[in-house]
Amino acid sequence: MCAKAVNARNSDDMDTREQLLKAAGDLMVERNSVNVSFSDIAQKSGVNAALIKYYFGNKSGMLLELVRKVVRTSVLQMDDLLKMQLPPEDKLRIHIHGIVNTYFRYPYINRLLHYILSLDEGDYGVIIADEVMKPLATAQRGILEEGVAAGIFRPVDPMLFYFHLIGACDHLFYARKALKFAFGVTEVTDDLKSRYAKHLHDLMINGLLTHGRSD
């Protein structure tokens, strides 16, 4: 096989993989559930279920690749954010907006992460923690420590802060049915998403500040 043919094959493979992951994610959004099977994905994508197995090995392998596809850019952006010359409250504001935007675009991602963790299968828990949760927690700890060192933030437990922040950012998306039944709001619009992110960073940053207010 000549080099060109190999490249073409790899490029086709990449397209099919992306197509399958996109179909899986789209199904999760439509159903508001991470419970999708290979045959659902086959039907949605038009790709044979046996080929899905060929590409990803098993369902957990495919779900892990979907997580990686969704969070890759966000994790890289978090690293860049930490290195920037910005006041810690600005970094935290950008960080919170980034998380809320990710959940807005991929409202299934937190359920998917916890579904994979709940499988207790192979090394998936360790991989998800190493590639997603630990980088998130490390970035937050870094921002909090910068703020404390500068005398701007009072010290808080970064682990408790992690669960506070992630749970809060996610709940508008997780609890969309509560939004509908308890508040009569049927859609998380771009405007509602932005107001939610602003509410969260205003309240949390003001809660951290040692003096004065940020607004």
Residues that bind a second copy (CB under 8 A): 32-33, 113-114, 117-118, 125-126, 128-129, 133-134, 137, 156-157, 159-172, 174-175, 177-183, 185, 195-196, 199-200, 202-208
Instruction: State the nearest-atom distance from the C-beta of 148 to a second copy, in Å.
Output: 14
> Smaller CB distance to a second copy: residue 57 or 167?
167
Instruction: State the nearest-atom distance from the C-beta of 207 to a second copy, in Å.
Output: 3
> Smaller CB distance to a second copy: residue 52 or 197?
197
Strands (E), the chain: none
Per DSSP, the three-state class of 150 is: coil
The phi and psi torsions of 110 (rounded to 5 degrees) equal -70, -40
- The secondary structure of the chain in percent helix, strand, coil, rounded to multiples of 5, reads 80, 0, 20
Instruction: State the nearest-atom distance from the C-beta of 129 to a second copy, in Å.
Output: 4
Termini Cα distance of the chain: 64
CA nearest 165: which of 133, 194, 190, 118? 133
Instruction: State the nearest-atom distance from the C-beta of 54 to a second copy, in Å.
Output: 29
Instruction: State the nearest-atom distance from the C-beta of 75 to a second copy, in Å.
Output: 14
> Smaller CB distance to a second copy: residue 117 or 148?
117
Radius of gyration of the chain (CA): 20
Q: Do 52 and 19 contact (CB within 8 A), yes or no? A: no
> Smaller CB distance to a second copy: residue 72 or 195?
195
> Smaller CB distance to a second copy: residue 86 or 156?
156
